[in-house]
Structure 1
Amino acid sequence: MSNVLRCISPIDGSVFAERPVLTNAEADAVVARAQAAQADWAARPLTERIDLVMKGVARLGEMNDEIVPELAHMMGRPVRFGGEFGGVKERASYMAGIAEEALAPLVIESSEAFDRRIKRVPQGVVLVIAPWNYPYMTAINTVAPALIAGNTVVLKHASQTLLVGERMVRAFVEAGVPEDVFQNVFLDHDTTSALIGAGHFGFVNFTGSVGGGRAIERAAAGTFTAVGLELGGKDPGYVMEDADLGKAVDTLMDGAMYNAGQCCCGIERIYVVESLYEDFVDKAIVFAEAYKLGNPLDEATTLGPMANKRFAAEVRAQTSEAVAAGARALIDPSRFPEDDGGTYLMPQILVDVTHDMRVMRDESFGPVVGIMKVKDDEEAIRLMNDCDFGLTASLWTADIDRADAIGDRIETGTVFMNRADYLDPALCWTGCKDTGRGGALSVIGFHNLTRPKSYHFRKG
């Protein structure tokens, strides 16, 4: 494996950034410093840790004018959308706000005879392996609560967003977080696996592919390291006969196409009741045709390139396979300046699709969505569950009881009603099946980043 990591910009295929990977000895030294610093960091008052974390977030916000074009160069998101700081601040602020209550001891008894309680104590050193598609927001989901809870953090980012971890750590250190408490690393896969396999971490959080998640679990096998995994998704939307059609189209199509479809909880398949199907499809075509595909540094661009040629190639393959098997592509390629075989990929809507097609079963992670007609709730539930993944599902109806009953039967981590593609920091971000295990954010996020420790004191 090369000893240098390179970020190839999807804008023009040039090398935007490169960094040397750490040797095994250098990586071990990083972890040793994190281990040595953890006890002192955890001994600081909770209010002090919260204050330093929020100062780090604020310092990151001050860098936003540099971050936004940097993200466009690294992974292709148009500058017009302004980066990720709003989400970063919302999530970190929420976790800071609930920290005192979430981390408070659970008092079982406090009497003249006994003091019995359960405390939440840090896991130790937390390794965060973050993805490229929302590199700041996905990282902050674990970084902020891990530091607040008294852990030290080692952050490894995807090579596609090579500079993100470096910038995050710089912001936090400049804000006063000690250097050994929060460190960024550039690692190859073998060194990462070796560190995990050596049992150096109390908790490992990974967001990425199913294959990557399996590699993390193999590396951690036998070490008893706690692992949190958010892997693939194939999130469905279901539009019922009493839905607000206009809002359903706008929200579901935005969920399918935003960020060039490269969203963990993006909408990848839509099921529409027969009575609304034709109108939904017609409006979806208008929505998709309104996108402007182009250079993400151009303020007029609303759909940028995919982050890598191989990601775009997979979407093209799924789409062409579906068309060959009988699906119809509704968006005319002549409307978009797509490059042949490159990163710039036009939006596409497929109808006459079936679950025999990969585009309705495998993760696409690009600007393509399949739309199917369904007869009733039973058919919709069966199709939504006919998938190896389970992250979110979006239900569109005016009947909350109906949505609740359907939600109880869907194999997923989050059920939305009349919204989609949103992460609520007050709720646990979790998945099932091949989407992974564990949970981030909310009170449960703090519980995963700490371990229970029982105190049973007999007085006198």
Structure 2
Amino acid sequence: MAIASVNPATGETLKTFEAIGPEELENRLAAAHATFRTYRTSAFSERSRLLKRAASLLEEDQEDIARTMTSEMGKPLVAARAEAAKCVKAMRWYADHAEELLADEHPSDADVKDSGASGVTVRYRPLGVVLAVMPWNFPLWQVVRFAAPALMAGNTGLLKHASNVPQTALYLGDLFHRAGFPDGCFQTLLVGAGAIEGVLRDPRVAAATLTGSEPAGRSVAAIAGDEVKKTVLELGGSDPYVVMPSADVDRAARVAVTARVQNNGQSCIAAKRFIIHEDVHDTFAERFTARMEALSVGDPMDESTDVGPLATEQGRADLEELVDDAVRRGAQVLCGAGRSGDRPAGWYYLPTVLTGITPEMRIHHEEAFGPVATVYRVSGLDEAVSVANDSPFGLSSNVWTRDAGDMERFVQDMEAGGIFFNGMTASHPAMPFGGAKRSGYGRELSDHGIKEFCNITTVWTAA
């Protein structure tokens, strides 16, 4: 089976790789399991040293790996550099904080005295080999935000990356090897999707984490559930972006553009549904649409490009279907809604703003994975909350208001894993990240993320 790296800006096949065979896959599983037996006993100081070395190497490689990411999945080069820098920051954060985050806990003697114990300790021990099934949209960051905490906790990792970013996948395996991590500690599995079930069912694999589509998450969760193995899932998102009358409307409109088209609009935490109070709707819609229409669409290697191509031809076709369905059912196009006319090659789609959205339209309930925004007019706080929650997803959310009462209402009622006031959603190593409803379960990053793949062990000693 051949795995191809294709440039989405041109449609050109850059490189092809042969998937590893059953014998090599077995060797890598065996190595991951054998290495775990010794790596789990290593000191935090040693793991920290290795992870900081990996961070330094990535920092040195920043320009090269940024160009690789851009050539494989089309994100603007400026954004690719920023992604690499973010990974360096996360590696160093976990290298510095993991020992503290996983320190033994000791319930007070007064709380446990009736258990008959002379002392109780809660210890965080690594689970074992963790399979990571990762997507193409942030091909470096999605992996590092799993790998940094998992390796610092004493686990070993197997990476099944998206098949359209094989060069980035291979780079990651090489990065941890060059940093000095033991052989088998972190390995890239260049295999097709059909191999995932066998790896996940292997008794040497203890758990899995997946970032990706809802169907992929359902599949991995079902297999892991059948095997009674721990999973963390970060799936789709159709994040609301609410603007209330007390907001700074001009700033909200400016930030909204970045929030929608970051990563060419291909981000689970990108704002997608813009829910605007009627008092400020027209002003917001006019300013937002003008800025979306003014974005530069072009070669992602060009420093001046705002929006590059979509990562795959199928992804563009899926987005076109959503927009076409909405327009057929009565949605109004404020800008865009088509392929870039001056880009005959590549999988480009114009930044698009739609309004007049109704529940009968697919785009009301489905995730638009590309630079397409839907704008809603609402009459008040109750309707804003209702429309925001009228989605099968609940990853994150953005709310623009200066009113303390509004803020409290959204914190209380918003069905999402994050609520960002007066700014756009972002991930940070010190903040837990994850969603509700069909956006998945479990958390990445922060202390919550590193503890997801630990055996939380109670140690009880008799009085």
TM-score (norm 1): 0.95
d(CA) in 2 for partners of 1:23 and 1:334?
42
- AA of the residue aligned to 2:106: V
Cα distance in 2 between the residues matched to 1:335 and 1:208: 25
After TM superposition, give the deviation of residue 142 of structure 1 in Å.
0.8
Alignment of 1:36-435 (within 5 A): 36-83=34-81, 84-108=83-107, 114-331=118-335, 336-337=340-341, 339=343, 343-435=347-439
Deviations along 1:312-333, one digit per CA (max 9) or x if unpaired, are 1111111111111111111157
CA distance in 1, matches of 2:338, 2:118: 77
AA of the residue aligned to 2:132: V
Letter of the 1:41 counterpart: Y
- Using a 3 Å threshold, how does the CA distance of structure 1 residues 406 and 332 change in structure 2: closer, same or farther? closer
Whole-angstrom CA distance in 2 between matches of 1:33 and 1:433: 36
Aligned residue pairs, count: 457
Residue identity opposite 1:93 in structure 2: R
Structure-2 residue corresponding to 1:31: 29
Task: State the AA in 1 paired with 2:250.
Answer: G
Q: Which residue of 1 aligns with 2:10?
A: 12
Q: Match of 2:27, SS? A: helix
Report Cα offsets for 1:37-59 as digits up to 9, x if no partner.
Answer: 11211211111101211211221
Structure 2: distance between partners of 1:340 and 1:278: 35
Distance 1:425 1:360 in 2: 32
**C-alpha deviations, 1:337-368, integer Å up to 9, x for none?**
35579511110001112222112210111000
Cα separation, 1, equivalents of 2:408 and 2:375: 23
Which amino acid letter does the alignment assign opposite residue 29 of structure 2? V
Task: Find the aligned partners of 2:17 and 2:339 in 1 and give their Cα distance.
Answer: 39
Q: Structure 2 vs 1, CA of residues 332 and 33 (structure 1 numbering), >3 Å: closer, same or farther?
A: closer
In structure 2, the CA distance between the partners of 1:328 and 1:341, relative to structure 1 (3 Å rule), is: farther
Cα 1:26/1:332, change in 2 over 3 Å = closer
- Other structure's SS at 2:40 match: helix
SS of equivalent to 2:399: strand
| Gap change, CA 1:400 and 1:187, over 3 Å in 2 | farther
2:28 aligned counterpart, secondary structure:
helix
Q: Relative to structure 1, is the Cα distance of residues 338 and 194 closer, same or farther in structure 2, using a 3 angstrom cutoff?
A: farther
Letter in 2 for 1:393: S
CA–CA distance in 2 between the matches of 1:417 and 1:428? Answer: 16
Aligned residues with identical type, % of pairs: 28
Q: How many angstroms does 1:421 deviate by?
A: 3.0
1:264 Cα deviation (Å)?
Answer: 1.5
Paired residue secondary structure (1:108): coil
Tell me the distance in 2 between the aligned counterparts of 1:356 and 1:90.
Answer: 43
Question: 1:78-122 CA distances to partner (integer Å, 9 max, x unpaired)?
Answer: 223342122112322333333122111111367997232111000
- Contact residue 275 and residue 384 of structure 2 kept, 8 A: yes
Unpaired runs of 5+ in structure 2?
Answer: none
Change (3 A) 1:184 1:375: same
User: Residue type of the partner of 1:207?
Assistant: T
Q: What's the Cα RMSD here?
A: 2.0
TM-score, length basis structure 2: 0.94
My pick for the range that moved more, 428-437 or 19-28, is 19-28
The reply to whether residue 445 of structure 1 matches residue 444 of structure 2 is no
Task: State the distance in 1 between where 2:45 and 2:142 align.
Answer: 24
Indicate the larger mover: 42-51 or 226-235: 42-51
After TM superposition, the structure 1 stretch with the greater mean CA deviation from structure 2, 325-334 or 28-37, is 325-334
Q: Which runs of 4+ in 1 moved over 3 A?
A: 109-113, 332-342
8 Å contact from structure 1 (residues 4, 18) kept in 2: yes
Secondary structure in structure 2 of the residue aligned to 1:114: strand
Structure 2 counterpart of 1:447, one-letter code: K
